[in-house]
Structure 1
């Protein structure tokens, strides 16, 4: 593993590595991705092996220009209405933290899509990521750069500490700005002309809010996570899906995911307010307001490193940006439990709560 900067020479070196079949961890606006040439099946297999990722979990392919989308997605398979929605979303939110599920071209390797007839695509909003993609193959498959099921990385050091020599290069672009993965929106349900008014579905809440999406294309559905790891493992062929099999159709659909090593429990604000403190535990309140209310009831002082807030401003955008970085920090303290208050249910609050609920042990 070699740590590189986001200078031009280092990005070009990393891009040459991707063209040669190597693995490159790189910053995006959401989290760090573990990148490989999306059309190189050997390199894709290395991604799954490095992460310990089951092959039933499809990858997101990152592009730097809409011209590349023609190599990946068959937009002609969508209904005219869904094509309009796709075009509006790309124009408004790409580059940005939005992944679209679209009908795929036959040339896309089944390993990248877990054998599904659809492909997950996004254009990241980060200059180093875009330059890396442009200088390499134009299409880089990149799940989060962490062991499968563990905390996503928002700093280069998180990648180094969790993956080490399983990655060839790490581009260090500092801390990511959004802090949670992209929102995944399924548009492939509109691929059948016979479909009755197909509605786009959010398969994973993330760095783009539902409200922002609906302001552009109208109502969308939200599909709650429907698969436990054991349910997914029960699929007849665990290495890939075939059309018609029941299982995840996008990354981030497993019920258990994004977890620290330390047991974590998520609480509603009401339940969190009534908790009593036990030795060896760490508490994360969403804002100083809820923390201070709880402290007033406790009527005692606590060491600084036991009680934390996710957002000092009470903003869900700040909370999302801080989430994984704070959990990485607290995981190193080897506490008995991390007890976390849920975020408000608006803007990026659903994405925060989605990650915390999948990490929760209860």
Structure 2
């Protein structure tokens, strides 16, 4: 970048050619260590919707339907959650340990209202209210939440609250535009200016607010490692020794989202393309990144054309280590299996993005 606009002489050109050749050799070595990307076909595969149901997958999902409900993928039973107002609402779900937490608010008009926090110690019972928040994330102890509380119209605070409702102190001043994402033993992951175009991901010490790591995009925090997203590649940063390992993308196109497994060893990375080959077809492609070996594995029956649209789907991990996908069907897949196991019942046609495996 510093040589842009300058005249390059012969030695500089030859030196850069040598660097380029070496880079190509290294890129070739990297490609051999990763699973190769599948060849593009003229028609995207139908994916899970084209496979036969197996049944007996033992998966129950909390779905952000209207009203939110618990869905049994084997029987088709749909049990609405109690204590949630009816009608069209803005809802999101998260899991804290083994407990379901629901955030619920009116649809946004001129200004988005904070969400009511509902905690479900018993899925069949009425929830415990933890007040309101602009953002929520699970605590590392699996029994608490980090919340962005409103103090006034334009002021907020970061507060740590037990699922019982007990606050751990008064909290600290924070921007109302901060989004809390996840806490691990390495710190609290937040997104600064989370509702703006110039957001930044930051890992902080939640007790002091001190910045530990800061990047334009931290895709996931898994145990002691961060998965960083770049324009053309990914980087795994080990927080224990600050070592870095760069990884090529397994596919060239599509925006990506990442979801670490509950044990922190694996990350499911979803590549979505809202306009496959310039068409109106929306596709989803799923890859598994092993953080210990820094290798990719392509999940079976992907990529595929999503019949329900990219905004009506969800991924989550179970305690048993199964990756669960909810789309037009519900499928469960354990790393190493040759195929998905599909529930006999199809989920409701309309549910928002994000699901929780129970």
TM-score normalised by length of structure 2: 0.22
Structure whose residues are more often strand by fraction? 2
Larger relative contact order (Cα-Cα within 8 Å, sequence gap ≥ 6): 1
